[in-house]
Amino acid sequence: MRMFSVSHKTAFVVDHCPYMAESSRQLIECDMLTKSRSQGVIPLAPVSKSLWTCAIECSMEYCRILYDIYPTNKLVNYIVSDSEVHILNSWKQEHQNTHELMAALAAVGPPNPRQDPECCSVLHGLVAAVESLCKITEYQHEFRTALMDTADRVANRGRIICLTNAKSDTHVRMLEDCVLETIQEQNKRAAGSDRLMPIQQCELVLVHIYPQGEETLVSDRQKKELSSVLSSEVHSVRAGRYLACKLNVLVQQHFDLASTTITNIPMKEEQHANTSANYDVELLHHRDAHIEFIKSGDLHMAGSTSRDSGLKETVTLKWCTPRTNSVELHYCTGAYRISPVDVNSRPSSCLTNFLLNGRSVLLEQPRKSGSKVISHMLSSHGGEIFLHVLNSTRSTLEDPPSISEGCGGRVTDYRITDFGEFMRENRLTPFPDSMIDAADRIPVERAKSQLERHTRYWPMIISQTTIFNMQAVVPLANLIVKDTLTDEDVLTCQKTVYNLVDMERKSDPLPISTVGSRGKGPKRDEQYRIMWNELETLVKAHVGTSERHQRVLDCISACRSKPPEEEERKKRGRKREDKEDKTEKNGKDTEEKGWTTDSERLKGVMEREKDEQSECEIIKDSPDSPEPLNKKPRLATEEQQPPEKSKGPVSLLTLWTNRITQANSRKHQEFAGRLSSVNNKAELYQHLKEENGMDVHENGKATR
Amino acid sequence: MPTLVLLDSSLSMTRPVSVEGSEEFQRKNLAVHGLTMLFEHMATNYRLEFTSLVAFSSLWELMVPFTRDYNTLQEALNNLEDYDKTCLEAALQGVSNVVQQEWGTSCPCQVVLVTDGALGIGRGSLRHSLQTVKQRVEDKKFPLPFPFPSKFYVMCIANAEELQATDSMDNLEQLINLNGGEGQIYTMEGPLCLKSVQSMFGKLIDQAYSPFHAVMRCGNLTSDVQVFPRPEPVIIDEEVDPMPRTVQTDLEIVGFIEIGDISSPPVLSRHLVLPIAVNKEGDEIGTGATDDTEEETSTNQMAGKSPNFCVLLHGSLKVEGMVALVQLGPDWFGMLYSQADSKKKSNLMMSLFELGSEPLPWLGRISQLGPASDAAENPYGEDDSKSPFPIQPKNKRSYAQNVTVWIKASGLQTDVQKILRNARKLPEKTQTFYKELNRLRKAALAFGFWELLKSVAELLERECTLLPDSAHPDAAFQLSHAAQQLKLASSGDSKYAAYEHNITPMLTDFSGGGGADRI
The residue of chain A nearest to residue B289, with distances taken between CA atoms, is A401
Percentage of residues of chain A with pLDDT beyond 90: 38
Collect all residues of chain A within an 8 Å Cβ-Cβ radius of residue B396.
383
Collect all residues of chain B within an 8 Å Cβ-Cβ radius of residue A451.
218-219, 253-255
Same domain, A248 and A151: yes
Cα–Cα distance between B29 and B130 in angstroms, integer? Answer: 29
* Cβ burial, residue A219 (10 Å; 0-12/13-18/19+): exposed
Cα–Cα distance between B117 and B121 in angstroms, integer? Answer: 12
Q: Which one of B48, B403, B413 has the shortest CB-CB distance to A343?
A: B403
CA-based Rg of chain A, rounded to a whole angstrom? 41
Give ∠ CA A273-A279-A285 in degrees, rounded to 5.
135
DSSP H/E element including A444: helix A443-454
Q: Best residue in A44, A428, A538 to probe B by mutation, most B CBs within 10 Å?
A: A428
Q: Cβ–Cβ of B362/A381 closer than 8 Å?
A: yes
Same domain, A469 and A378: no
Q: Which one of A332, A337, A344 has the shortest CB-CB distance to B411?
A: A344
Q: Decide if A97 is inside a domain.
A: yes
Q: Return the pLDDT at B382.
A: 83
* Nearest by Cα to A69 from A387, A297, A293, A303: A387
Same domain, B198 and B229: no
CA-based Rg of chain B, rounded to a whole angstrom? 36
Q: Cβ–Cβ of A339/B397 closer than 8 Å?
A: yes
Q: Cβ–Cβ of B407/A58 closer than 8 Å?
A: yes
pLDDT band at residue B306 under the 50/70/90 scheme: confident
Amino acid at A485: L
Q: Decide if B291 is inside a domain.
A: no
Same domain, B197 and B260: no
Amino acid at B485: Q
| Least Cα separation, residue A427 to chain B (angstroms) | 5
Q: Which one of B220, B240, B265 has the shortest CB-CB distance to A3?
A: B240
The arithmetic mean of pLDDT across residues B14-28, rounded, is 74
DSSP A129: H
The residue of chain B nearest to residue A331, with distances taken between CA atoms, is B264
| Least Cα separation, residue B292 to chain A (angstroms) | 14
Residue pLDDT, tens place only, A318-361: 998 777 666 788 899 999 999 999 998 889 999 999 999 988 89
Q: Decide if B401 is inside a domain.
A: no
CB A543 within 8 A of CB A550: yes
The residue of chain A nearest to residue B336, with distances taken between CA atoms, is A329
Task: DSSP for B358-400, please give it.
Answer: -SSTTT--GGGEEEGGGSSS-TT-TTS-----SPPPSS--GGG
> How many domains is chain A built from?
3
Same domain, A54 and A67: yes
Q: Cβ–Cβ of A455/B375 closer than 8 Å?
A: no
Q: Decide if B142 is inside a domain.
A: yes
Q: Decide if B154 is inside a domain.
A: yes
* Nearest by Cα to B119 from B135, B134, B131: B131
Cα–Cα distance between A110 and B447 in angstroms, integer? Answer: 8
DSSP H/E element including A157: strand A157-164
Amino acid at B105: T
Same domain, A83 and A220: yes
Residue B452 reports pLDDT greater than 50 = yes
Collect all residues of chain B within an 8 Å Cβ-Cβ radius of residue A464.
307
Find out whether the peptide bond into B145 is cis, omega within 30 degrees of 0: yes
| Least Cα separation, residue A677 to chain B (angstroms) | 31
Q: Best residue in B322, B385, B399, B401 to probe A by mutation, most A CBs within 10 Å?
A: B399
Q: Return the pLDDT at B296.
A: 53
| Least Cα separation, residue A656 to chain B (angstroms) | 29
CB B362 within 8 A of CB A381: yes
Among A516, A531, A565, identify where a domain stops.
A565
Same domain, B221 and B304: yes
pLDDT band at residue B21 under the 50/70/90 scheme: low
CATH of the domain at A131: 3.40.50.410
CATH of the domain at B365: 2.40.290.10
Task: DSSP for A68-123, please give it.
Answer: HH-SSS-EEEEEEESSSEEE---S-GGG-SHHHHHHHHHHH-S--TTS-GGG--SH
Q: Return the pLDDT at A455.
A: 92
Among A255, A288, A321, identify where a domain stops.
A255
Q: Cβ–Cβ of A399/B343 closer than 8 Å?
A: yes
- CA of residue B242 relative to chain centroid, distance: 19
Q: Cβ–Cβ of A414/B277 closer than 8 Å?
A: no
Same domain, A176 and A162: yes
Same domain, A249 and A141: yes
Other CB atoms within a 10 A radius of the CB of residue B341 amount to 14
Q: Return the pLDDT at A620.
A: 38
Q: Which one of A47, A398, A429 has the shortest CB-CB distance to B451?
A: A47
pLDDT band at residue A588 under the 50/70/90 scheme: very low
Among A535, A565, A595, identify where a domain stops.
A565
Q: Which one of A53, A383, A444 has the shortest CB-CB distance to B447?
A: A53
Other CB atoms within a 10 A radius of the CB of residue B414 amount to 15
Same domain, A351 and A480: no
Residue B338 domain boundaries = 212-234+246-278+300-374
Q: Cβ–Cβ of A57/B405 closer than 8 Å?
A: yes
pLDDT band at residue B284 under the 50/70/90 scheme: very low
Q: Decide if A619 is inside a domain.
A: no
Cα–Cα distance between A524 and B443 in angstroms, integer? Answer: 83
Q: Cβ–Cβ of B239/A44 closer than 8 Å?
A: no
Same domain, B38 and B167: yes
Q: Return the pLDDT at A663.
A: 77
Residue A603 reports pLDDT greater than 50 = no
Give, rounded to a whole angstrom, the gap between the first and last alpha carbons of chain A.
83
Supply the angle between the helices A416-425 and B309-320 in degrees, to the nearest 10. Answer: 70
Q: Check residues A487 and A370 and name the one with the higher pLDDT.
A: A487
pLDDT band at residue A691 under the 50/70/90 scheme: low
CATH of the domain at B171: 3.40.50.410
Same domain, A511 and A528: yes
The arithmetic mean of pLDDT across residues B358-375, rounded, is 90
> How many domains is chain B built from?
3
- CA of residue B462 relative to chain centroid, distance: 59
Q: Check residues A686 and A580 and name the one with the higher pLDDT.
A: A686
Q: Cβ–Cβ of A291/B276 closer than 8 Å?
A: no
Q: Decide if B96 is inside a domain.
A: yes
Strand pairing report for A75-81 and A9-15: parallel
- List CB contacts of A40: < 8 A, sequence separation 6 or more: none
Q: Cβ–Cβ of B370/A429 closer than 8 Å?
A: yes
Residue A514 domain boundaries = 456-565
Q: Which one of B264, B361, B396 has the shortest CB-CB distance to A379?
A: B264
Give ∠ CA B61-B62-B68 in degrees, rounded to 5.
160
Q: Decide if B386 is inside a domain.
A: no
Q: Which residues pair with B111 in a beta bridge?
A: B4, B152
The arithmetic mean of pLDDT across residues B70-76, rounded, is 90
CB A591 within 8 A of CB A530: no
Residue pLDDT, tens place only, A25-51: 888 887 766 555 556 677 788 899 999
Q: Cβ–Cβ of B106/A333 closer than 8 Å?
A: yes
Cα–Cα distance between B519 and B472 in angstroms, integer? Answer: 7
Q: Decide if A406 is inside a domain.
A: no
Exposure letters A427-439 (e unless 16+ CB within 10 A, then b): bbbbbeeeeeeee
Q: Cβ–Cβ of B240/A154 closer than 8 Å?
A: yes
Same domain, A334 and A240: no
Q: Between the CA of residue A654 and those of A305, A615, A660, A679, what are the distances in Å?
A: 82, 44, 10, 18
Same domain, B189 and B224: no
Q: Best residue in A403, A465, A515 to probe B by mutation, most B CBs within 10 Å?
A: A403
Please, what is the average pLDDT of chain B? Answer: 85
Same domain, B200 and B217: no
Q: Cβ–Cβ of A451/B255 closer than 8 Å?
A: yes
Q: What is the largest CA-CA distance in chain B?
A: 124
Q: Half-sphere exposure of residue A308, counting CA atoms within 13 Å on the CB side?
A: 14
Same domain, A64 and A104: yes
CB A605 within 8 A of CB A700: no
DSSP A44: P
- List CB contacts of B494: < 8 A, sequence separation 6 or more: none
The arithmetic mean of pLDDT across residues A274-286, rounded, is 87
Q: Return the pLDDT at B29.
A: 86
Q: Cβ–Cβ of B397/A49 closer than 8 Å?
A: no
Q: Decide if A421 is inside a domain.
A: no
Same domain, B126 and B223: no
Residue B232 reports pLDDT greater than 80 = yes
Supply the angle between the helices A524-540 and A547-559 in degrees, to the nearest 10. Answer: 170
* Cβ burial, residue B105 (10 Å; 0-12/13-18/19+): buried
Residue B247 reports pLDDT greater than 50 = yes
Q: Return the pLDDT at B5.
A: 93
Q: Cβ–Cβ of B288/A406 closer than 8 Å?
A: yes
Same domain, A213 and A96: yes
Strand pairing report for A75-81 and A47-50: unpaired
The arithmetic mean of pLDDT across residues A440-458, rounded, is 89
* Cβ burial, residue B20 (10 Å; 0-12/13-18/19+): exposed
The residue of chain A nearest to residue B269, with distances taken between CA atoms, is A333
Same domain, B267 and B355: yes
Q: Decide if A36 is inside a domain.
A: no
* Cβ burial, residue A488 (10 Å; 0-12/13-18/19+): exposed
Same domain, B142 and B218: no
The residue of chain B nearest to residue A57, with distances taken between CA atoms, is B447
Q: Cβ–Cβ of A53/B442 closer than 8 Å?
A: no
Give, rounded to a whole angstrom, the gap between the first and last alpha carbons of chain B.
83
Same domain, A234 and A293: no
H-type alpha helices, B111-258 = 126-131, 160-165, 168-178, 194-208
- List CB contacts of A492: < 8 A, sequence separation 6 or more: A475, A476, A479
ipTM value of the model?
0.88
Percentage of residues of chain B with pLDDT beyond 90: 36
Cα–Cα distance between A419 and A535 in angstroms, integer? Answer: 19
Same domain, B200 and B310: no
SS (H, E, C) A323-391: CCCCCCCCCEEEEEEEEECCCCCHHHHHHHHHHHCCCCEEEEECCCCCCCEEEEEEEEECCEEEEEEEC
